[in-house]
Amino acid sequence: MRRLAAILVPLAFVLLATLPARAETFVLDKNHTSVVFLIDHLGFARVIGRFNDFEGEFTLDEGKVEKSKLRVVIRTKSVDTGFQKRDDHLRSPDFFSVREFPEMVFESTRIRKTDDRTGEIDGKLTMLGRTKQVTLRVRFNRKDAHPLPQYRGVMAAGFSARGSIRRSDFGMTYGQSFLGDEVEIWIEAEGLAKGAE
């Protein structure tokens, strides 16, 4: 029996190691996820803003990265640059027109691996009623059982993404004499295993 166990136990570990990785779905943790944008102001500095209300999830398939997925819905009314008068203007028809377009959506269409921990996500961004192709450069940070006791070992995963858009592509042309057309996008995302968040 001991000889049999000595053979079977290592064999079991080998078999488990060769099983294909299972795709896992994570829900964005709003407390530890940031959706940030930067835009030039008169060439002096860039205004930094964020969206405080959003939801989304991503499916991570480590065995076949190209089958991974990402979808994020952002409530435009939650735009926040730290200055109330400016934020009210950003909610107006000059910019995000939040009454007519309360949400903008990013949904991945293609994901490709560029290195062990990096990749690119092609996706469709819908804003102000227009949908355009956007590419995000992504770095996968970590996937592991959450170490904090309140999460009781729930699986978590996180990534960082960077990209840019031209706001005029979406019909947002107000203020081009003093505001840049290119908008830089930063996303720092942390997700909790779906069903356990």
Give the tens place of pLDDT for each residue, 65-98.
899 999 999 999 999 999 999 999 999 999 999 9
Give the tens place of pLDDT for each residue, 139-165.
999 999 999 998 888 999 999 999 999
Q: What is the CATH number of domain 20-193?
A: 2.40.128.110
Residue partners of 29: CB distance under 8 A and separation at least 6 = 156, 190, 191, 192, 197
Burial 95-129 (b: 16+ CB within 10 A, else e): bbbbeebeebebebeebeeeeeeebebebebbbbe
Please state the rounded mean pLDDT for residues 38-42.
Answer: 98
In the 8-state DSSP scheme, what is residue 20? Answer: P
Give the tens place of pLDDT for each residue, 169-186.
999 999 999 999 999 999
pLDDT surpassing 60 at residue 41: yes
Q: Give the angle 170-171-177 at the CA atoms, nearest 5°.
A: 115
What pTM was estimated for this model as a whole?
0.85
The full set of domain ranges for the chain reads 20-193
